[in-house]
Chains A and B, each alone.
Chain A
Amino acid sequence: MTDSAVPKSRTKKQSLLKQIMTMPAGAILLVFAALQIVCIAGALAYPDDFRYLSPQNLTILMKAIPVLGCLALGAGILMIAGEFDLSIGSVYTLTAVLMASLVDGGMSAFIAAPLGILLGVMIGLLNGTITLRFGLPSFIVTLGGLLFWRGAVLLYNGAVQVRFDPEPAFSSLFAGTLLGINAAFIWIMLFVAGFYLLLHRHKFGNHVFATGGNPAAATAIGINTDRVKLVAFAIAGGMAAVAGIIATARVGSVQPGQGAGLELQAIAACVIGGLSLRGGRGSIIGIFLGVMLIHTITDVLLLLRAPGFYLDMFIATLIVVAAAFNHLIERRGAA
């Protein structure tokens, strides 16, 4: 036989750094760890000027992360399946307004919140059905959704703020603390763990990656790609509603304009976290690190009293650099 003499592999053993860099969320993990080291060192060196480690600041961070986190998890799974949802910011507001006004009308928040999630799931399914039935780019369909549901909020509620006054049990479930940790942060950790299991350890996750990575192959092997995408759309809508509940429980009111731009931040977090815009690539850990990174940078710039536009410019640079880096890795993989 010809293959008795196996030739020596010509690829060198890669350094640990390179191995980490090529892992799905490796690069972002390095950036995140480096940023944390710098921040913590800075906070220890200048505890009075740079209050990064102060309990107040950590609480602010823990409260801020879950909202974007929920949105990004939903949007990210959909992106891995190869589709987009730009309507999640509007859905987030709409479902929160619905829940708050139902509670205002006397309904228990424990019933109103699931109704809000149900509405989010239904809108996700609608987005998915239109996209798949007519073979349209989900970008366009959900851009329509973004404007439509934003308008629907104003139609349903007008441009006024809605008070959210749930029973205390509901408030403490979503906005209280457990062992000093913010309840919303515990929720997001649970969601991260749950979606990690779903995407990386469950059959469904394998089908999501296949659907986004090579739809023709997935179909050829007998995976119902339309159904996988539809479920992913539903998850994106449902998680937008969950984000709405968490945000509303924290603030105690809903502003009709509050969701604008959040969909883009969620997609930005996903891209920073290593997701491919063409689908098939990414990880739950990456998405979460992307969210954490955006919020850490926001927080640091606020602590340094930098004007708000620095924040936009910083995040913008990060997105483009992350996308370029991901593309580089993808091309290497495709070669």
Chain B
Amino acid sequence: MMPASNLLELHNISKSFGALTALRDLSFHIGPSEVVGLLGDNGAGKSTTVNLISGIYKPTSGYLSVDGQRTLFTCRSDSADAGIETIYQNTALVDSLSITRNIFMGRERTDVFGFLKQVEMRDIAMEVLEKAVHISGIDSPDKLVGDLSGGQKQAVAIARAVFFKRRVLLLDEPTSALSVRETEALLAQVLKLKAEGVSSVLVTHNLYHAYQVCDRFVIMSHGTKVFDVNKADTSISQLTEYVVLT
């Protein structure tokens, strides 16, 4: 892919909720095979940005472009079609169903009558869990998601995104509910996916986790971008300064 063609661009996006302006003239981009840290203190507008990119909110003004094509996401599936998968803290999984069924939720493999190809789905789930997303403790795709830990649940959500060939993962505060071990595994996963050409946006408070894996940082404050810098050109202390002082 040409470096000039960014996977996703936000152009002068503003979003108001009645009298409240959540986002003001926000522009940034996500390139191919790039891990971007979207940083900022509480109320900076990070969550609004995530919801906007995943198609839940529509911008009041401004627009998005995917592969250089101007577009607008009007619903969740628009963003999914563009190859974007959002992985929330409370991941969109159903506790009472197995890992396999969660991975294929809404995109089941079926025969012509709509009956599930259970063996095929189970084999794929097994393979994805073993190869693409390795998190210890998940030994069977038949386990109920309700029995998994927070990190394991995120691993399942990521496995789903990987299998369905997403190009951009939006990870909203992915590490806040995870153990140290799970955090390390997740960050390693993000880097591994980057090597395979999947970009990620890490939305987080935790500058250290972001610094560990991100190539570029976008710092938001009061609903707009205040800093956009490559990792090589900055340091943790400078990032902290921007998050705290702006």
Q: Which A residues fall within an 8 A CB radius of B? A: 1-3, 6-7, 9, 197, 201-204, 206-207, 209-210, 213-214, 216-223, 276, 280-281, 333-334
Q: Is B106 a contact of A207 with CB atoms below 8 Å?
A: yes
Main DSSP-derived SS at the A contact region: helix
Assess the B105–A221 pair: CB atoms within 8 A: yes
Decide: A202 and B114 in contact? CB cutoff 8 A.
yes
- Tell me the complex Cα distance, A197–B184, Å: 42
| From B93, B97, B146, B184, contact of A206 by CB (8 A) | B97
Q: Does B136 contact A (CB under 8 A)?
A: yes
Q: Which residues of A contact B95 (CB under 8 A)?
A: 213-214, 280, 333-334
Question: B36 to chain A: closest CB distance in Å?
Answer: 22
Whether the pair A218, B105 counts as a contact (CB closer than 8 A) is yes
Complex CA distance for A6 and B136, rounded to whole angstroms = 7
B77 / chain A contacts, CB cutoff of 8 Å = 222
* B101 contacts A206, C-beta separation under 8 Å: yes
User: Chain B contact residues: over half helix, strand or loop, or mixed?
Assistant: loop
The answer on a CB contact under 8 Å between A202 and B116 is yes
Given known pairs A201-B118, A210-B94, A214-B94, the reply for A223 and B134 (CB within 8 Å) is no
* Whole-angstrom CA separation of A218 from B95 in the bound complex: 12
Minimum CB–CB distance for A34 against chain B, Å? 26
Closest to B114 in A: A203
Interface size class of B (residues with CB under 8 A): 20 to 34
- Minimum CB–CB distance for A13 against chain B, Å: 12
A3 touching B105 by the CB < 8 A rule? Answer: no
In angstroms, Cα B101 to Cα A213, docked, is: 13
| Bound CA span A203–B94, Å | 15
The reply to whether A210 and B97 contact each other, CB–CB distance below 8 Å, is: yes
Query: How far, in angstroms, from A220 to B114 measured CA to CA in the complex?
Result: 21
| A167 to B: closest C-beta gap in Å | 33
Contact pick for B97, options A6, A197, A209, A223, CB 8 Å: A209
Question: Are B92 and A216 touching (Cβ within 8 A)?
Answer: yes
A35 to B107, CA, bound (A): 42
> Which residues of B pack against A, CB within 8 Å?
76-77, 80, 91-97, 101, 104-108, 110, 113-116, 118, 134-137, 139, 144, 146-147, 181, 184-185, 188
The residue on B at minimum CB distance from A280 is B96
Chain B nearest CB: distance from A97 CB in Å? 35
* Bound Cα distance from A209 to B101, whole angstroms: 10
Complex interface: chain A residues within 8 A of B94 (CB):
209-210, 213-214, 217-218, 280
Residues of A contacting B107 with CB < 8 Å? 221
How many Å lie between the Cα of A223 and that of B102 in the bound state? Answer: 12
Contacts of B134 in A (CB 8 A): 3
Interface centre among B106, B107, B116, B181 (most CB of A within 10 A): B106
By the criterion CB–CB under 8 Å, are A333 and B105 in contact?
Answer: no
Given contact pairs A202-B115, A210-B97, A280-B96, A3 touches B144 in the complex (Cβ within 8 A): no
Q: CA–CA, A219 to B185, complex, Å? A: 29
CB nearest to B135 among chain A residues:
A3
Bound-state Cα–Cα, A7 to B139, Å: 13
A201's partner among B104, B105, B116 (CB-CB below 8 A) is B116
Give chain B residues whose Cβ lies under 8 Å from the Cβ of A1. Answer: 188
Distance in Å from the Cβ of B172 to the closest Cβ of chain A?
12
A207 CA to B105 CA, complexed, in Å: 8
Q: How far is the CA of A74 from the CA of B118 in the complex (A)?
A: 25
- Complex: chain A residue closest to B188, CB-CB: A1
Neighbouring A residues of B108 by C-beta, 8 Å: 203, 206
Cβ of A221: which chain B residues have Cβ within 8 Å of it? 92, 105-107
Are A206 and B92 in touch, CB under 8 angstroms? no
CA distance A220 to B78 in the complex (A): 11
Q: How far is the CA of A213 from the CA of B104 in the complex (A)?
A: 15
Among A3, A7, A197: residue with most chain B CB under 10 A = A3
> Of A3, A213, A222, which contacts B185 at CB under 8 A?
A3
